[in-house]
Amino acid sequence: MPVSPLRHRFLRRVDWYIVALLSTIGLATVLPAHGASEDALGVATSLAIGLLFFVYGARLSPQAAFSGLRHWRLHLSILSFTFVVFPVLGLAFATLPSYVLGAELATGLLFLCVLPSTVQSAVAFTSLARGNVAATVCSSSFSSLLGVFLTPLLAAILLQGELAGGVRFSADQMLSIVVQLLVPFGLGQAVRPWISGWIIRHRRITMVCDRGSILLVVYSAFGKGVDAGIWGRLSPVRLGVLMALCALLLALVLGASTWTATRLRAGHEDRVTIVFCSSTKSLASGLPIAGVLFAGTDVGLAVLPLMLYHTLQLMVCAVIARRWSERPVTDVQQPTAPSPAAEAPAVRA
C-alpha cells in the first residue's frame, strides 16, 4: 500500500528517539523490573555505559582535539555556558520556595545545570544547520571529558545541605564514576590505533551504544522511581511548574548564547556551534553519574528534570536547525576569515 505524501512527510519529521524515550518511560511505569530481572538490568546497563565510553575513547583523536584548541574563544565561551552560566542559573532557581518543586526536584534541576553538553545531538543539529561541525565535535568532546571531573566536583560543592535532601559526595562515589566512565574511555584511547578506523566507518555503532545505554538507564531509573511511588508524589501542578522552569532555562541559554555569538562577531558556522553546544545537556553522561550520586535515593525524581530538559532541547533545537538549514546560502554565509578550527582536520568523536 503506497504511503501518502502527507504521511511520508510526517514520518520523516517524527523524531523516533523521542518516541522511544517516552515509550521507555511508559514501559517502566507499567512494567518495572523486579528481583532477578532488576539485577540483570543493572548489569546490562553498566556494561552498556562502559561500552559507550569505550567507543567514545576509541573514536576521539587526541591530535585533532589539540588542533581544535587553537579556536580558543569559541571553546571558552561554550565551556563558560556549560560550567558557569548554567550552574549560576541553577542556583537562582534553587532560591525558589521549597513548596514550588520540593527538595528532590530542586536537586535534580541543579544537577542538570552542572552536566556537560551532549555530543551526538549537538553534532547532528550543527550539521543540519550548516554550522562548524569540526568545532562542534571538538567542543562537545572537551565538555564531555571535563564533565567526568567537573560534574562530580560541582555536584559536591552545590548539592549540599537541605537543598540536596541529604545527598553527600564521597570518595567511593568518585571511584565508582572513575571505574564506570574513565576506565572504559582510557581503554578505548589505548586501543584506538587498531580499531578507530573500523568504528569510524561504522558510525551506527556509536549511535546504538549512545541511545541504547540511555534507554536502559531511563528504564532502570524510572522503574525504581515507580517502586518508590514518584508519580503518586508528583502532582500535575508541580510537574507543570518543572516543565515551565526547564523551558525557561533553555530559552535563557539559547538567547544568551545567541547574544554572545553576536558580540564575538562569529560567522554563521561558529554561531551555530556556540548556540547548540552551549544550550544542550548530555543524558548519556548525566544518567550514569546520577545513578552513582543518588544511589539509595529517589533516582527517578532526581533525573526527571534532566529527562524533561533533554526532550525539550531535542524538539526546540531540531526546529531551530531546520529553520537555519532552509535559509538561502547567501543568508547564512558571511565573508569572514576562516577560523583556525575551520582549517583544522575533522575531529572524530
Give 132's contacts (C-beta < 8 A, 6+ positions apart): 126, 269, 270, 272, 273, 339, 341, 342
Do the domain assignments include residue 332?
no
Tell me the pLDDT tens digit for each residue of 135-159.
887 787 778 778 877 887 888 788 7
Residue 231, judged by CB atoms within 10 A of its CB (0-12, 13-18, 19+), counts as middle
Using CA atoms, how far apart are residues 274 and 278, in angstroms rounded to an integer? Answer: 6
Do the domain assignments include residue 17?
no
Most confident region among 57-71, 283-297, 313-327, 329-343 by mean pLDDT: 313-327
DSSP state of 327: S
Cell (9 digits) for 322 = 531546520
Using CA atoms, how far apart are residues 218 and 212, in angstroms rounded to an integer? Answer: 10
Tell me the pLDDT tens digit for each residue of 18-55.
788 788 888 888 888 877 887 888 788 778 777 877 87
Tell me the pLDDT tens digit for each residue of 83-136.
999 999 999 998 888 888 888 888 889 999 999 988 767 877 887 788 887 788
- CATH code, 197: 1.20.1530.20
Do the domain assignments include residue 15?
no
Give helix 72-80 / helix 236-263 axis angle, nearest 10°: 160
Do the domain assignments include residue 336?
no
Number of domains composing the chain: 1
Do the domain assignments include residue 328?
no
Q: Which residue has the cell 566507518?
A: 201
Using CA atoms, how far apart are residues 135 and 64, in angstroms rounded to an integer? Answer: 10
Do the domain assignments include residue 252?
yes
Domain range for 52 = 24-323
Going by C-alpha positions, the residue among 59, 102, 131, 76 that lies closest to residue 348 is 59
Do the domain assignments include residue 51?
yes
Do the domain assignments include residue 306?
yes
Q: CB–CB of 222/300 below 8 Å?
A: yes
